[in-house]
Structure formats: structure tokens, C-alpha cells
Amino acid sequence: MKTTNQTTSNHDNFVKIVEVGPRDGLQNEKTPLTFEDRRNLILDLMKTGLKNIEVGSCVSAKWVPQMAESDQLYASLPHDEDIQFSLLTPNLKGFESALAVGCKEVAVFTAASESFTQKNINCSIEESFEKFADVLQLAQQHDIKVRGYVSCIVDCPYEGPIDPSKVAEVSAKLIDLGCYEVSLGETIGTATPDRVAKVWNACFERIEPQLLAGHFHNTYGMAIANIYQSLTQGIRIFDSSIAGLGGCPYAKGASGNVSTEDLFYLLSNMGYETGIDLDALMLASRNISQVLQRNNPSNYANAYWQKKCA
């Protein structure tokens, strides 16, 4: 029987974007950004019309120093009832930090690869479910939404190709545990649309498409092609990162996520609604690129500024 969730609606023309730049985008920076720079990025993003913003991770600062004080960062933000902030919480300790600052949405994360799960969160896939069960139970008591992530949906940096049926199994388990949505992470950006199609087909045997999101890294420049493929199969939720920031400390060589700018260009030109204000998005993208002193990999952002300055 397919796993469904009555509270999620699927407007065919609306695409939900989850901005992961402040978390996925910054977790891999060689020099961690200051608290103030992280906060300014989120304040910029709040002006763009983006309604879902991942603020950071309540993980061990020994493992990911870039995400230290994410709970305090959350607490320092002005709260807007139209914007859903979230924090990554791999276990009860992380969840309790998020709870203490009044966070209303958290995300748990595992993978379809045993080796990656060990490297990333220091436990097996099965053990990760045990930790998440505690998180989900407490979250339910406090009326906190929990999103799930599954990494390595196509290839694993340690194990190579991953069987789509394993992705479906792990994703369905997260939904069964109580996650309201599961984001499928193409962690190392090696996938092509044919392989992405197989993953969605395997998942659709067990889960309704409206409960699934696509999270595509862009190492080989395939993220937009993979998103287009996903759109044709009915996926209407995508994660993206301002200025294409991102990577995972436990997936060496993987580059950033699809940029929110390029995703916006694709979606708006195809007639999908996103609620994004283009000029505000471009300002946020320019500001963070300046802070990081880095060229923006987004083709659309570069074309936008060239045209504007011509």
C-alpha cells in the first residue's frame, strides 16, 4: 500500500522550493562564515519570497564547525509567520537544541548507502531509524514538523551505484516513522535523468509523489536536467541553494546544489509559480558571493547582472 499524507496538497502549477543555502551551502566552507554573515544571508533570503529556509544544523561542532551555534542563529532571527525555518537534527540532542529555541520544523537525515551513513552520522541506516524514532515521538508531542532526507540516491562516494529499491525502502520508512516529506539527495551530482527516472519510479511504488522532494547537487552540471526529469514525473518540491553553494563534508569532491537562481529561471519560464521576487533573489545571491569572494556558478545570475550592467 502506498504511503500517503493527507495534510500535503499538490497544486500542479506551484513548486515548493526549500532554500538550503544557509545549511548545505555553508556547511562545507573551508573558512566558516561568521555568525553575522550567516544571519545576514538569511535576512536577505527572507526578502526574496522564499517560504522555506534551512537555517543550519544542530550537529556536533567537532564534526561540522561551520554549523556551530545554529540554534542561536535560529533564535536571533526575526520570525515571519509566512516563512518556515528549519534545522537539521540527527538525534535527540540536536532535536532538544532546536526545541529549546522554539524551532517548528526539523529535518532528520540518513542515506541509502551504509558506508555513507557511517561516515556522515556515525551509525548504520537501521540505527539512524532508531534515533529518528525518538526524535519523531518528541516532535509529535510538541507539534513540530519533521522532514526526512535520504542521501546517495543514485551513487555513493564509497559504494558506487545504489539500487533504486533501497532508496524507496529507506524513504518509505521515513514516511512511516512520521516524516511529512522526504527529500531525495543526489549527493555527489553524478546522476543523469535516466537514472533519476528509475529512482522516482521505484519510490512511486510505495510513496505518493507529493510527499517527495528532489535535492540535486550539480557537480557534473546535470542538476537542472535532473530537475526537469523530476518535473515530468510529477515532483513539485525541490531543494536549492542560493549562488549554488554547497557540498557535504562527507562526500569529497561533490560540488554545490543547483542554484536557486537557475531553478527559478527554469520554473518561471515553464509557467510554474514559485512566489520568488527576482530582484531580491539576485541581491541575496550577489551579497553572499561578495562575502565569500567567489564567482557565482549560476548561469542565470551571471546573465542577469551582465544585462543589468550593460
Residues that bind ligand HMG (CB under 6 A): 24, 27, 57-60, 63-64, 90-91, 93-94, 109, 120-122, 149, 151, 185, 187, 215, 217, 248-249
CB 120, min distance to Mg ion, A:
11
Residue 27 binds which entry of Mg ion, ligand HMG, none, CB below 5-8 Å type-dependent:
ligand HMG
CB 43, min distance to ligand HMG, A:
22
Say how far apart CA 178 and CA 191 lie, in whole Å.
Answer: 28
Tell me whether residue 248 is one of the annotated catalytic residues: yes
Annotated catalytic residue within 58, 152, 156, 248? 248
Say how far apart CA 108 and CA 106 lie, in whole Å.
Answer: 7
Nine-digit cell at 149? 532526507
**Residue holding cell 522555506?**
52
43 vs 123 by CB, closer to ligand HMG: 123
Residue 63 binds which entry of Mg ion, ligand HMG, none, CB below 5-8 Å type-dependent:
ligand HMG
250 vs 304 by CB, closer to ligand HMG: 250
Strands 181-186 and 160-161: unpaired
Say how far apart CA 163 and CA 175 lie, in whole Å.
Answer: 19
Could you say whether residue 54 binds Mg ion (CB under 5 A)? no
Sorted by sequence, the CB contacts under 8 Å of residue 30 that are 6+ apart come out as none
Residue 57 binds which entry of Mg ion, ligand HMG, none, CB below 5-8 Å type-dependent:
ligand HMG
CB 106, min distance to ligand HMG, A:
11
Report the residue closest to ligand HMG, judged by CB: 185
Q: How far is CA 187 from CA 33, 46, 158, 211, 213, in A?
A: 22, 26, 12, 19, 14
Could you say whether residue 24 binds Mg ion (CB under 5 A)? yes
The number of residues that bind Mg ion (CB under 5 A) is 1
In one letter, which amino acid is 278? L
Q: What is the dihedral of CA 32, 36, 41, 42, to 10 degrees?
A: 110
Q: Which residues bind Mg ion (CB under 5 A)?
A: 24
Q: Which residues are catalytic?
A: 248
